[in-house]
Structure formats: structure tokens, C-alpha cells
Amino acid sequence: MRLLRLFVCVLPLLTLTGCDEQLSDVTGPTPNLTPSFASIQKEIFSTTDSSGRQACTNCHVAGGAAAGTGLFLNDRTTAYNLLVGQTARFGRQTLVVPGDPDASYLIKKLEGAAGITGARMPFTGGPYLTQGQLLVIRRWILEGAANN
């Protein structure tokens, strides 16, 4: 019985320590990336990273290659208002579903999931976001996709 009690008490603590990862250890070419919209806007949407992945705003700006999508990411307020709770123009799915990254079309486009309209982002064919960068965006959505 003591062994069972010890197991029940210690296992959750070990699990919590394993989750205490440094995000900078997993985000690769964007070590300053955090699960906040301001950080995602700055480090992903507006910046070409050290892996050579182009800033999303190279295409997703008024007059850019992706102008037909209407998804302009060049300023934080506009980007947030066009992403969270909004329907993708071509995919007919919600771009960011607060609390549900798996239902968010943004994640599907960034990961190249089956059933997306068009190509995986970036449309240029890569380099794509790293698993760590995707993890941070997923965490932001999972935590409610706040405009923080």
C-alpha cells in the first residue's frame, strides 16, 4: 500500500518536472518565441528566421502574393482580428479556434494537414516552421488565443 501511495504522489510531480521545458530549447531559429500573440507576430509573421524561412508578411500583406486571401499579417491588431474566430476565405474553416489547436485551420495550413485548400504554408515550399515553433503556436491557441 505504501508503494502505491508513493507512486500516486511522486508520479504527478515527475510529470510536472518533465513539462517544465525551456521554450527556447525547442523553438530552434526563434529562441525568443513565446506563446503570446505579440511574440508570434514578431518572431513568426514579421521576421525571416535564421533557418531561412521567410517572414509570413513577405506574402501576407496588402498587395503581396497572398493578397487574394485577405489574410494580412503585417500589423498585430489586423492580424489578430483576421485570425481568431474568423473563417478562412478558401478553406471554409475557422482559422484560430481558441482552446482547440487541432480544429484551427491555421495549424492545419502550417503543418500541411490533409484536406487543406492549396499548399502548406509557406507556399514557397519551405523551410517550414519547426516542430518547436508549431508547439508554441499550438500552446498559444490551447491557452485561449489571447490578444497578448
Q: Identify the residue with better confidence: 4 or 68.
A: 68
94 in a structural domain:
yes
d(CA 135, CA 31): 13
Beta carbons of 76 and 67 less than 8 angstroms apart: no
- First-to-last CA distance in the chain? 47
Beta carbons of 141 and 104 less than 8 angstroms apart: yes
pLDDT digits (tens, 9 = 90+) for 10-43: 334 333 334 445 665 677 788 889 999 999 999 9
Q: Which pTM value belongs to this model?
A: 0.81
Single-letter residue type at 59: C
Q: By residue range, what is the domain housing residue 60?
A: 25-142
148 in a structural domain:
no
32 in a structural domain:
yes
2 in a structural domain:
no
36 in a structural domain:
yes
pLDDT of residue 60: 92
Domain count, the chain: 1
Q: Which residue has the cell 489574410?
A: 71
pLDDT of residue 41: 96
3 in a structural domain:
no
Beta carbons of 104 and 97 less than 8 angstroms apart: yes
Q: Which residue has the cell 508520479?
A: 11
Calculate mean pLDDT across residues 123-145: 95
12 in a structural domain:
no
d(CA 141, CA 138): 5
pLDDT at 138 over 50: yes
CB atoms within 10 A of CB 45: 18
pLDDT digits (tens, 9 = 90+) for 64-116: 888 888 899 999 999 999 999 999 988 789 999 999 999 999 999 999 999 99
d(CA 141, CA 97): 7
87 in a structural domain:
yes
pLDDT at 131 over 60: yes
